[in-house]
Structure 1
Amino acid sequence: MLKLNSFNDIQTYKNEVIPFLEQDEIINNLALGLLLGVKNEQPMVMATVTKENKMVMALFQTHPKQIILSKAVEFTVDEIQQLAVLLDENLADIPGFIGEKDLTNQLAKAITNLRKRVPHIQMNQRLYSLNEIEKKPAENGKLKRMGFVNLPLVKEWVYQFCIDINEPMSREDAEAKAKDLIERGRVYGWEIDGEIVSMANASRPTKSNITVNFVFTPLSERKKGYASSCVSALTHLMLNSGYKTTSLYTDLDNPTSNKIYMEIGYKPLIDSIVIHFK
């Protein structure tokens, strides 16, 4: 029998959940990295699922449109239905999920039947990890850390990146995100002859892993290998900084980016899906 345990105190939740998430640090990098970064904010959902008093899943929400599902044990069809009923009874709002593809699809279908909602696949993703670079960056450019002098460029590229992944934000929010990325000190550009032509960011550090995201190249500079060089150089920098692995998510509907990352040395781990309820 499954049991849903809800938490109101972030520190208590961290103490309970972080050791569980760290058992699969890379696969759980989204929930783990966000949870480690939470300070005074109050997440919208903090919960665990237990089976015979043993934790088998963690649920965590900071994004208004989706609840993160951690790696879980293999649930039976009946247990997925039990979990759906528990969520339906205990959560006022279930806007969507992000998690391993098969489990997330099955849980979303069960929730749809209970709440008469319409599921919408926002993105089919694949999670990759790397511990050794196979393709080095081109020698005609260099990696440059972006500072506040680059804020107008980072703001515009964050704005365009979010449009590209079908998660548009206002220019005001894009500026706030750009400032945050710059303040954290891990957003870099690939520089050719003094001009920044591509961007990538390193985010959500955990004990031994860090995630590469916000990879963006403007249309005028695409198909020149700049994104590949930028990601390769940033990955190399993170590995040299002490991280044993780097990870990233890709959109499976973009075969070009998947090919680029695999050439660098990224290996597929799991398929993930983002589902929103209408």
Structure 2
Amino acid sequence: MAWSITDSPDVFRAEAGAFVASRPDLHTMMLSGLDTIERLRSGEATPPAVLGWWRDEGEERTTGAFVWMPPHLLAASRLADAPCTSLAQLLSAGDHPFRGLMADDATIRLFSEAWKTVTGSTPESELHLRLYRLEQVAPPRVAPPGEPRVATAKDRDLLHAWCTSFVEEAGSLGADLDTFVDERIAGKGWRLWEVGGEAVAMAATTPTVAGMARITPVYTPPEHRGRGYGAAVTVAVSKAAQEAGAAHVLLFTDLANSTTDRLYQRIGYRPVSNYQIMQP
């Protein structure tokens, strides 16, 4: 039993595409990563890609997969013991420096044990996350003042500054900020909440891929917090994602922040699974 590896998105889709698309919620990070690789390769860039799928011996059905664009995080599906051990061996001997894995809690535990056995080093969990899926939009019972609008290129400096603040508070967005901001402006994925012509909160949605879109980031500057603006702009951007064709609207929260957990459940999001980001 071993991983099959390719750098070709076309080959990966032929071998593992049906498996990855079978659970757009659980495989959200793989779907986004694959979409990013394909979009970059359709232009002038040729980003490195390591794409893998797992089939048990004698089986034709794919039961595990990962998508990796070094040096970013590797995103994996739920994996059993054998593929975790094989993946640890593959990554420890690979050509690209391995900087971290994002997967569900059970996979992280198995992979961490395998990594320690293979390398002798003990990995650390950097973040504990919870994946939520939108069940039905439930606007706040007491709506805050203001209204949403689509952010445009004129808002770029503000979006960039707020994204920088978000990263300082919550951690990396996993992409170059200039690219992250500009792609979402071009795709009309940003929403600002305005009160009296002043922007007081922002939220963005990823492009819809395989019926899935993910809300990230959601940010309210400290001076505007506690007034319901974050919930309101999240409702607005969630509706926008649905209108763009997303049947699965998702978001991750940091389990260390109980406030956001309660907020998202109040507006219609329900827990799916817990995830971790592990660093070797």
Same fold? TM cut 0.5: yes
Deviation at 1:6, TM superposition (A): 0.8
Structure 2 residues not aligned, in runs of 5+ = none
Deviation at 1:92, TM superposition (A): 5.1
Asked if 2 retains the 8 angstrom alpha-carbon contact of 1:57 and 1:70, the reply is yes
Distance 2:105 2:249 in 1: 21
Deviation at 1:204, TM superposition (A): 4.1
The more displaced of 255-264 and 240-249 is 240-249
| Matched residue, 2:134 | 130
Aligned: 1:11 with 2:15: no
Aligned: 1:276 with 2:262: no
Aligned residue among 78, 85, 90 for 1:81: 85
Deviation at 1:27, TM superposition (A): 0.9
Structure 1 residues not aligned, in runs of 5+ = none
TM-score (norm 1): 0.88
Distance 1:238 1:35 in 2: 19
Q: 1:142 to 1:154 in 2, by over 3 A?
A: same
Asked if 2 retains the 8 angstrom alpha-carbon contact of 1:124 and 1:251, the reply is yes
Q: 1:18 to 1:136 in 2, by over 3 A?
A: farther
Residue identity over aligned pairs, in percent, reads 20
| Matched residue, 2:244 | 241
Q: 1:182 to 1:244 in 2, by over 3 A?
A: same
Deviation at 1:59, TM superposition (A): 1.2
| Matched residue, 1:61 | 68
| Matched residue, 2:30 | 31
Asked if 1 retains the 8 angstrom alpha-carbon contact of 2:132 and 2:251, the reply is yes
Deviation at 1:58, TM superposition (A): 0.7
Aligned: 1:109 with 2:113: yes
Distance 1:176 1:32 in 2: 18
State the number of aligned residues. 271
Q: 1:220 to 1:57 in 2, by over 3 A?
A: same
Distance 2:37 2:87 in 1: 26
| Matched residue, 2:97 | 93
Taking only aligned residues, the RMSD between alpha carbons, in angstroms, comes to 2.3
Distance 1:237 1:193 in 2: 22
Distance 2:195 2:147 in 1: 7
The aligned amino acid for 1:98 is M
Aligned residue among 138, 142, 146 for 1:141: 146
Distance 1:140 1:110 in 2: 52
Q: 1:136 to 1:224 in 2, by over 3 A?
A: closer
Q: 1:239 to 1:62 in 2, by over 3 A?
A: same
Aligned residue among 227, 232, 237 for 2:230: 227
Q: 1:175 to 1:87 in 2, by over 3 A?
A: closer
| Matched residue, 2:185 | 182
| 2:55 match: secondary structure | strand
Asked if 1 retains the 8 angstrom alpha-carbon contact of 2:208 and 2:241, the reply is no
Aligned: 1:162 with 2:167: yes
The aligned amino acid for 1:161 is F
Distance 1:19 1:220 in 2: 46
Q: 1:124 to 1:152 in 2, by over 3 A?
A: same
TM-score (norm 2): 0.88
Deviation at 1:67, TM superposition (A): 1.0
Deviation at 1:246, TM superposition (A): 0.7
Q: 1:271 to 1:80 in 2, by over 3 A?
A: same
Asked if 1 retains the 8 angstrom alpha-carbon contact of 2:208 and 2:245, the reply is no
| Matched residue, 1:196 | 199
| 1:247 match: secondary structure | strand
Deviations 1:54-97 (A, max 9, x none): 3111111125242111234xx24x66434433544556533221
Deviation at 1:194, TM superposition (A): 0.7
Asked if 2 retains the 8 angstrom alpha-carbon contact of 1:158 and 1:177, the reply is no
Deviations 1:190-248 (A, max 9, x none): 11111111010010412322111111111111111100000012112222333223100
Q: 1:169 to 1:250 in 2, by over 3 A?
A: closer
| 1:246 match: secondary structure | strand
Asked if 2 retains the 8 angstrom alpha-carbon contact of 1:129 and 1:245, the reply is yes
The aligned amino acid for 2:66 is L
